[in-house]
Amino acid sequence: QSALTQPASVSGSPGQSITISCTGTSSDVGAYNYVSWYQQHPGKVPKLMIFDVSKRPSGVSNRFSGSKSGNTASLTISGLQAEDEADYYCFSYTTSSTWVFGGGTKLTVL
Amino acid sequence: QLQLQESGPGLVKPSETLSLTCTVAGDSITSSSYNWGWIRQPPGKGLEWIGNFYYSGSTYYNPSLKSRVTISVDTSNNQFSLKLNSVTAADTAVYYCARRGVGTSSVDYWGQGTLVTVSS
């Protein structure tokens, strides 16, 4: 299975909104609503930000939202803050009963 | 409070077998509500799903690693283990054990991770 495709980097200024895409196929992202997103600061453990495409765990800011259209899932961060600067990974279930991560996106807050 | 803790050698020689154990405190690995598994991250690179097991006893592995990996369970000690054989330098990574909710994509608890270096 191939890793899901994410942009290597995105950037935005404080207060702005950014969107990170995660493109797969009809055998993974497009097949089920089982896509989650993780935030990882340098040297830290990944943190769950969004699960099942658009659900937000308790304690995660409502500035983070998720969506999906066809084979592409998206993570949107609104009201960008300096603390949002991190790497972000998408994660999807596949029709082979396995799971696959995206390659990761480095978010820079300008 | 749920805690997952990886343990095992930090250095493995090429062609040998990498063995790690995840000890779980605060939940039972036989719970029907969760699955448990392994994820790794080579230095400076992205996350890679290795595999997981279900309370039913089924295991699923990353196809690219399937021929070399085994996940086993020790219910008496509430632990599960990873074995990866015939390792090379490409298997050098931080290895995480983690919990995922059944019927969801939510990997909500992770261990702190342990760095395993493959080198002679």
Q: Give tens-digit pLDDT for B49-66.
A: 999 998 888 999 999 999
Q: Is a pLDDT exceeding 80 seen at residue B97?
A: yes
* pLDDT at residue number B39: 98
B contact test, residue of A5, A29, A45 with most B CBs within 10 A: A45
Q: Encode pLDDT of A56-84 as tens digits.
A: 999 999 999 999 999 999 999 999 999 99
For residue B39, the chain A residues in CB contact (below 8 A) are: 101
**CB-CB neighbours of B54 under 10 Å:** 15
Segment B80-104 mean pLDDT:
97
- Structure-derived torsion over alpha carbons of residues A53, A57, A59, A62, reported in degrees to the nearest 10: 30
Angle, vertex CA A45, rays to CA A39 and CA A50, nearest 5: 35
Residue B79: closest CA among B9, B115, B18, B25:
B25
Q: Which B residues, 73 through 92, put their C-beta within 8 Å of a C-beta on chain A?
A: none
Longest Cα–Cα distance of chain A, Å, equals: 40
Point out the residues of chain A with pLDDT beneath 50.
none
Mean pLDDT, chain B, whole residue set: 96
Q: How high is the pLDDT of residue B57?
A: 82
